[in-house]
Every structure is written in structure tokens, then in C-alpha cells.
Amino acid sequence: MSRIAYVNGRYVPHTDASVHVEDRGYQFADGVYEVCEIRDGRIVDERRHLDRLDRSLSELSIRTPFSRRSAGMILREVIRRNRVRSGLVYLQVTRGVARRDHAFPGPEVPPSVVVTAKSVPVERGDHAASAGVKVITLPDNRWDRVDIKSVSLLPNVLAKQKAHEAGAKEAWFVDDAGLVTEGSSTNAWIVTKDGRIVTRPADHGILRGITRTVVVEAIEGEGLTLEERPFSVAEALEAKEAFITAASTIVMPVVAIDDRPIGNGHPGTIASNLRAKFHTYAEQSELVAN
Ligand code: PMP
């Protein structure tokens, strides 16, 4: 079955799906995006993802190109046409196509919208989670508005590549004070020896991950203890457990940081339990795909 993408009002074969060379996303990375998990044919946490999209757009003064209802319809149609039961749906909005000039184009230029969806077997993530993943640490060299989910991801791309070259799955960014900010595409967490779960406050230093928000609720719901405060690489190396969160990975145990084992070097029980419980706390849409 061939894949279908949504591009500016049309559903087109994925292989032909393209935007203009003067799309400001292509020229300036002048756009924002969201990634939602699709699980059992349902969109996970759609409301929160679309709320965050609205916020990212408004922070960058990009007009919201659709109503909430039509955004939902486009997401569903792309998922349905690609018959995705388990996987990811990607939504990108840029400031549109205009003659190249750094300053914003006029209000007559409509934002560009792209939506794609892909199947990812549930077992792939579960398999990775049963082994756990390795992370490396790198200086955080990003701009100070990483709270906006912008497609301007070059430092994140370079960091992820460095991680892969080091045989790791993720890179944790570290600020000038030696404190972990977040991963290149995930939020970062540790569990202290006495069982407190620690993650950096979602101020301007990190993206407020939707998975992070749900895990905070899961921690409360499960009667666990949360401490929202920054932690250092040194503290992480002494932690009982570590894990990362994102819509694409859910809760993923971390078993080594910079090649040093965390805890007993195996996925921790708190991380594994939060992974198992995650979808009972997340919001699920009605059934989209069978
Ligand atoms: N931080 C960064 C830098 C990310 O790119 C992502 C994933 N897009 C996250 C955190 C996790 O966000 P979410 O849980 O909403 O996927």
C-alpha cells in the first residue's frame, strides 16, 4: 500500500509530496511541528498536542491555519488513508511560501501545512525498553526558546548523530552549570536511591513534553514522589534509575550515561512500571483506524 501525505489542502502520494523551494520552513526553518503517538488506532493526547501547537504558533506570530475541528479531521484522514494502527502522525506548520526575505511576509501569505503518518510496530519500542538505551552528554548549544516546538533542530540533529556514532540512542544536553536540560528529542529523568523521581522544571530551558506532562500525572496517580528540579550529570551517574520520555518512545529506561552503568545496568522498575501504566493516564481519541 502506498503512503499518502497531506500537503496544503491535498492528499498526495508520499513520494510526490513536496513544498515550494521558497517555503519558509525550507529556507529559514520558520515553522513548528507536533508528533503524536497512534496506539490501537487512536490518537494519544491529541488535545494537549494541539494546545501546544497553538502556543508554538502564537509565540512565533504564525497564524493558526485551521480550526481545531479541521486539524483533527486532517490528522484522522491521514491516519486512515495510511491505515496506521500503531505509529506516529507528524504535523508541521510553516510561515508559508514567499519571496526570500528574512522579515515576515504580508498577511496574504497563508501558512503551509504538512501531515504525514507512519506505522511503527508496538513491539519495536517494547523490545528497546526491555533492554534499555544508552545516552551520552553534550553541552547545550541551542537558542533560549527551546520551549517552542520549532522545526529549527540543527543542534538536536548534530547531537543525535553524535549519540548514534557513540553507540547510544540519545544525547542529553547539559547547561553551563553542569545541569542536564533535556535530550535531543526527549525529556530527561532520574530516580534517586530513595525513590524520588527528578526532572527539570518545564521553564524556558526545555520543551514541555506532552509525555512529560502525562508522566507527572502518572507519578501522582501511582503514589510516587516527584521532584521538579534540575539535576547534574554527576547526580545522574549516582542515580538508581534514569529514563527518557517522548511521544515516540513513551517511557524508555536509560541503562548507561557516557558508557557508565546506571543502577544495576538494567532497566529500572519505576521506569518500567511508568511505561506499562502510561496509556491509562494518557487521553485516547475515538477509534480512527482499524
Ligand atoms: N524535548 C525535545 C527537544 C523534543 O524534541 C521532544 C519530542 N518532540 C520532547 C522533549 C518530548 O516531547 P513529547 O513528549 O511531547 O513528545
pLDDT value at residue 2 = 85
Tell me the per-residue pLDDT of 7-35, one tens digit each, with 9 for 90 and over.
Answer: 999 999 999 999 999 999 999 999 999 99
Distance (angstroms) between ligand 1 centre and the Cα of 131 equals: 22
User: Each residue of 167-219: pLDDT tens digit?
Assistant: 999 999 999 999 999 999 999 999 999 999 999 999 879 999 999 999 999 99
Catalytic machinery residues: 149
CATH topology of domain 125-281: D-amino Acid Aminotransferase; Chain A, domain 2 (3.20.10)
The per-residue pLDDT for 278 is 98
Question: In the chain, which residues have pLDDT < 50?
Answer: none
Ligand 1 pocket test, pick from 187, 203, 215, 283 with the greatest ligand atom count within 8 Å of Cβ, gives 187
Ligand 1 pocket member 209 (CB < 6 A) = yes
Domain ranges of the chain: 4-120, 125-281
Q: Which amino acid is at 137?
A: T
Query: How many Å apart are CA 274 and CA 226, to the nearest integer?
Result: 13
Pick the CATH number of 4-120 from 3.30.470.10, 3.10.150.10, 3.60.20.10, 3.40.50.2300: 3.30.470.10
CB of 212 closer than 6 A to ligand 1?
A: yes
CA of 210 to the centre of ligand 1 (A): 7
3-state secondary structure 178-239: CEEEEECCCEEEEECCCCEEEECCCCCCCCCCHHHHHHHHHHHHCCCEEEECCCEHHHHHCC
What's residue 42's pLDDT? Answer: 98
Torsion, Cα of 37, 38, 40, 44 (10° steps): 60
Give the pLDDT score at 204. 78
Which pLDDT belongs to residue 243? 99
Q: Is the CB of 155 under 6 A from ligand 1?
A: no
- CA 99–ligand 1 middle distance (angstroms): 32
Claim: this prediction has a pTM higher than 0.75:
yes
